[in-house]
Structure 1
Amino acid sequence: MTPDPRIDAYLAKSADFARPILVHLRERAHAAAPEAAEDIKWGAPAFVANGQILFIMAAFKAHVAVNFWRGQELLGDKALDGAMGQLGKIATLDDLPDDDALDALIVAALDLTTTPPKKKANPKPEKLHPDFAAALDKAPKAKAVYEGFPPGARREYCDWVNDAKRDATRDKRIAQAVEWLAEGKKRNWKYQDC
């Protein structure tokens, strides 16, 4: 595995508590999956093999998160246990699994890359909120862009609008969505070039 200078830069700008954790994860990836390549995905270090991501690691203010790309196949329902990453909230090296367990996870993730990912049987249908639909009707350009997007991109907008707990938040999101759609942008356009 050839070190990627972008990951070196990511490590250099990471918080002091996170740097040794990220360095250790990188070392374990090199040891357990030497054929994997380093890359940056969504602005965070990732390890890739056979055209699939093994795992992504990211540093935040007070913790490091590790997410295996095919985590549910690898970890079962434990992969869905929260937003802190599939290995939990990692604030120190002691929060990581021991090297043997970590290596076993990486090797198992590597083994999964030799088979295509399982497809979801029935993706969740988009639910267009009535207020969002009315706003799109008033903005023909935004509506045309929305209707031209694939189902997943439309669903991202719908979920974002529908997940608002307060009417004021939903109204603000609808206005933002119509503006972005009029510009031809998908919901997560900010992260598309990372």
Structure 2
Amino acid sequence: MKKVSSVEEYIEENAHFGDALKILHDIITATELEETIKWNAPVYELKGKKVVGLGAFKHHFGIWFFNGNFLKDEKNLLYTAQEKTKALRQMRFNSINDIDRNAVLAYVKEAIENQKLGKEIKPDKKKKETVIPPELKDHLSTNKDLKAHFENLTPYKQREFCEYIFEAKREMTKQSRLEKITPMILKGLGLNDKYKNC
């Protein structure tokens, strides 16, 4: 599908469901939501927060509710698109005759109210704790410059180095790994940086 810059273009590109998409579009735009195009499809927002989106596919079309998990879904109209999807829900239709305008409007209004109430799944802010192996701790304590560079690394890079030392079974291997990572830490590199740019 070509890049679209308006809802009209999106409806044209999905002409097989054109009339049905116009109906859904009219229902949504009768509310206070603001229309925009994101991910090459119409998205409707409230004060910059995504509330619903229109979607058309080969055999069905529908509305995405970005925080649909909070909808009561009394009419049992919502689908979870994928198992890993926590918040996103879809109201799916196969033909224009499947659209119950009153039900669609009620769900959209509920989604708007939920957004006003701030109902949304917040990203998990729990940070993984970095456990520094004793060998690395000793190594850092004897070299202030190295310690400063290590502390300036991202937590992810710090954990990579710590796990690299922890994984070594023999003391000799731990020491050779410490020697290997010392110049990397001083350069601000992560353990696997050279592979990430391939």
Query: Could you state the TM-score of these two structures normalised by the residue count of structure 1?
Result: 0.53
Count of aligned pairs: 129
- Within 1, Cα distance between the matches of 2:125 and 2:73? 19
Aligned equivalent of 1:95, options 78, 85, 98: 98
Conserved in 1, the CA contact under 8 Å of 2:64 and 2:90? yes
Which has the greater radius of gyration? 2
Shift of the alpha carbon at 1:82?
A: 4.1
- Alignment match, 2:19: 20
- Within 2, Cα distance between the matches of 1:36 and 1:121? 24
Q: Counterpart of 1:117 in 2: which secondary structure? A: coil
Shift of the alpha carbon at 1:95?
A: 2.1
Conserved in 2, the CA contact under 8 Å of 1:15 and 1:61? no
Q: Counterpart of 1:19 in 2: which secondary structure? A: helix
Q: Counterpart of 2:90 in 1: which secondary structure? A: coil
- Within 2, Cα distance between the matches of 1:181 and 1:63? 39
- Alignment match, 1:182: 197
Conserved in 2, the CA contact under 8 Å of 1:50 and 1:113? no
1:86 aligns with 2:86: no
Instruction: List gaps (5 residues or longer) in structure 1.
Output: 127-143, 149-177, 184-194
Letter in 2 for 1:71: G
- Within 2, Cα distance between the matches of 1:181 and 1:116? 38
Query: Could you state the TM-score of these two structures normalised by the residue count of structure 2?
Result: 0.52
Q: Highest relative contact order (Cα 8 Å, sep 6+), 1 or 2? A: 1
Shift of the alpha carbon at 1:51?
A: 2.2
Instruction: List gaps (5 residues or longer) in structure 2.
Output: 83-88, 129-152, 158-192
- After TM superposition, list the pairs within 5 Å mapping 1:47-62 onto structure 2: 47-62=44-59
- Within 1, Cα distance between the matches of 2:49 and 2:123? 20
